[in-house]
């Protein structure tokens, strides 16, 4: 008979966290149903060889708080996630405390958490602000091990200068920050604007009503000082074009998942831009599956896997939240919904964040070589500072930006057709 030993609650939590971290280091700890091919997991049928195994994933779009470390261990272990980029590494606004906490979290996870820093927007416009923040970015990288710069959607929507005017994404006063990122060989993950529907009246007829009725402050319909959605995205492209040596991650599918053709053109015109899919599967997924699949095949080296998952001790976000916060039991279905969409040929399935739209999507059945890049390979390349430095050196220092740039379509995307992609 084995005696049961009771541990004090705090010690028990420490033991659990240590065990989980040890498990993360071993590939054998991965749950088979989260990582193996469809013949071993009928919940995820997919048109790929039964010998294919999903690689350990790098989630390029997360928001982590150190208080959620124990939860994060379980999430990574149970869902085949190797690394997650923490876009909430914080700024230097209150001194080094945020960066020290973020570094401690990364150290605790043995490098599986990768932090990005953000600027402190206070005092923007005051002489020397950009040089100060460029120096802080260098400190974040050199001293605290940060691997990138995160620009929140504050540009064009919230951040103001000393004259209380909104700061545009292409404001030339930001130039030293972009140059420093290129010099350091770190990417800039940038969020510009929001879903197109956030500019439309907040009524039950709005396709994002489920979100907006819970978060009415997300709406820009009654904010005349905010530029229209297409103009903000044009400003973002002027930023990309004016800084050809800096690598930008245009998050949320280029911030324009409503218009596949626009995003395709954006990547054509800007070799220094890549995109992630975070919190936008439902948006680009309502386009015809065959068209989306062709986009992923064509842009297979320029798309990153990301989820917009937020994890803290007392909060959990899965792409987007409603009135009821998800629980830990909802995390695996959230990831499985991503895998099912990307790997299978199923029609009319739920997308990962149904609160973002009451429609179904048709899966796109990507081939293994594309999935390997999407889940891992592209992220490894992006996080390699030497690779980004070499890219910067191969590019001109500046570029002439046309006065008029293409704009995304203002019309909503069609609902999915009842067709499956060809294989």
pLDDT (tens digit per residue) in 90-140: 999 999 999 999 999 999 999 999 999 999 999 898 999 999 999 999 999
* pLDDT recorded at residue 321: 86
The more confident residue out of 409 and 45 is: 409
In a domain, 67, yes or no: yes
Average pLDDT, the chain: 87
* pLDDT recorded at residue 399: 85
In a domain, 70, yes or no: yes
In a domain, 46, yes or no: no
* pLDDT recorded at residue 414: 54
In a domain, 384, yes or no: yes
Calculate mean pLDDT across residues 135-164: 96
The percentage of residues in the chain with a pLDDT greater than 90, rounded to a whole number, is: 77
When mean pLDDT is compared across 27-41, 117-131, 186-200, the lowest value belongs to 27-41
pLDDT (tens digit per residue) in 219-253: 999 999 999 999 999 999 999 999 999 999 999 99
In a domain, 17, yes or no: no
Residue 343 has pLDDT above 80, yes or no: yes
Give the domain CATH number at 253: 3.20.20.140
Following CA atoms 263, 422, 332, 318 in sequence, which dihedral angle do they give, to the nearest 10 degrees?
20
pLDDT (tens digit per residue) in 41-80: 233 345 677 789 999 999 999 999 999 999 999 999 999 9
Domain containing 86 equals: 57-393
* pLDDT recorded at residue 413: 52
3-class secondary structure per residue, the chain? CCCCCCCCHHHHHHHHHHHHHHHHCCHHHCCHHHHCCCCCCCCCCCCCCCCCCCCCEEEEEEEECHHHHHHHHHHHHHCCEEEEEECCCCCCCCCCHHHHHHHHHHHHCCCCEEEEECCCCCCCCCCCHHHHHHHHHHHHHHHHCCCEEEECCCCCCCCECCCCCECCCCCHHHHHHHHHHHHHCCCEEECCCCCHHHHCCCCCCCCCHHHHCCCHHHCCCCCCCCCCHHHHHHHHHHHHHHCCCCCEEEHHHHCCCCCHHHHHHHHHHCCCEEEECCCCHHHHCCCCHHHHHHHHHHCCCCEECCCCEEECCCCEEECCCCCCCCCHHHHHHHHHHHHHHHHCCCCCECCCCHHHCCCCECCCCCCHHHHHHHHHHHHHHHCCHHHHHHHHHCCCCCCCCCCCCCCCCCCCCCCCCCCCCCC
Q: What are phi and psi of 270, to 5 degrees?
A: -135, 90
Report yes or no on whether pTM surpasses 0.85: yes
- Contact present, 291 and 260 (Cβ < 8 Å): yes
Residue 292 has pLDDT above 50, yes or no: yes
* pLDDT recorded at residue 410: 61
pLDDT band at 23 (very low <50, low <70, confident <90, very high): very low
In a domain, 411, yes or no: no
In a domain, 11, yes or no: no
In a domain, 20, yes or no: no
Residue 7 has pLDDT above 80, yes or no: no
pLDDT band at 409 (very low <50, low <70, confident <90, very high): confident
Angstrom CA distances, 44 to 290, 343, 367, stand at 20, 8, 15
* pLDDT recorded at residue 401: 85
* pLDDT recorded at residue 1: 41
Total tally of structural domains belonging to the chain:
1
* pLDDT recorded at residue 130: 95
């Amino acid at each position: 008979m084995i005696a049961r030993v009771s541990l004090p609650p705090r010690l028990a939590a420490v033991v659990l966290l240590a065990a989980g971290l040890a498990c993360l280091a071993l590939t054998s700890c991965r749950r088979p149903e989260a990582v193996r091919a469809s013949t071993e997991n009928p919940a995820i049928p997919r048109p790929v060889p039964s010998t294919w195994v999903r690689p350990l994933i790098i989630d390029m779009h997360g928001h982590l708080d150190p208080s959620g470390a124990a939860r994060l261990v379980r999430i990574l272990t149970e869902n085949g996630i190797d690394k997650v980029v923490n876009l909430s590494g914080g700024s230097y606004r209150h001194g080094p405390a945020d960066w020290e906490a973020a570094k401690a979290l990364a150290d605790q996870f043995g490098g599986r958490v990768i932090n990005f820093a953000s600027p402190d927007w206070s005092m923007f416009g005051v002489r020397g602000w950009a040089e100060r923040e460029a120096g802080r970015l260098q400190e974040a990288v050199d001293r605290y091990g940060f691997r990138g710069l995160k620009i929140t959607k504050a540009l064009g929507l919230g951040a103001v200068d000393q004259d209380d005017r909104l700061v545009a994404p292409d404001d030339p006063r930001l130039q030293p920050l972009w140059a420093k990122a290129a010099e350091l060989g770190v990417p800039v993950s940038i969020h510009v604007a929001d879903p197109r529907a956030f500019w439309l009246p907040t009524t039950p007829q709005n396709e994002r009503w489920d979100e907006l009725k819970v978060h009415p402050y997300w709406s820009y319909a009654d904010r005349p000082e905010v530029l229209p959605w297409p103009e903000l995205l044009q400003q973002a492209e002027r930023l990309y074009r004016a800084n050809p040596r800096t690598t930008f991650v245009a998050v949320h599918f280029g911030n324009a998942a409503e218009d596949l053709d626009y995003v395709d053109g954006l990547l054509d015109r800007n070799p220094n831009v890549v995109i992630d899919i975070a919190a936008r599967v439902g948006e680009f997924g309502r386009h015809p599956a065959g068209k989306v699949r062709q986009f992923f095949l064509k842009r297979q080296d320029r798309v990153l896997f990301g989820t917009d998952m937020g994890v803290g001790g007392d909060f959990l976000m899965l792409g987007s939240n409603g009135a009821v916060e998800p629980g830990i039991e909802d995390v695996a279905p959230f990831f499985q919904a991503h895998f099912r969409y990307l790997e299978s040929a199923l029609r009319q399935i739920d997308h990962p964040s149904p609160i973002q739209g009451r429609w179904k999507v048709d899966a796109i059945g990507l081939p293994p070589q594309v999935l390997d890049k999407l889940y891992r390979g592209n992220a490894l390349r992006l996080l390699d500072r030497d690779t980004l430095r070499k890219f910067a050196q191969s590019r001109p220092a500046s570029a002439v930006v046309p006065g008029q740039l293409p704009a995304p379509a203002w019309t909503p995307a069609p609902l999915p057709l009842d067709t499956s992609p060809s294989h």
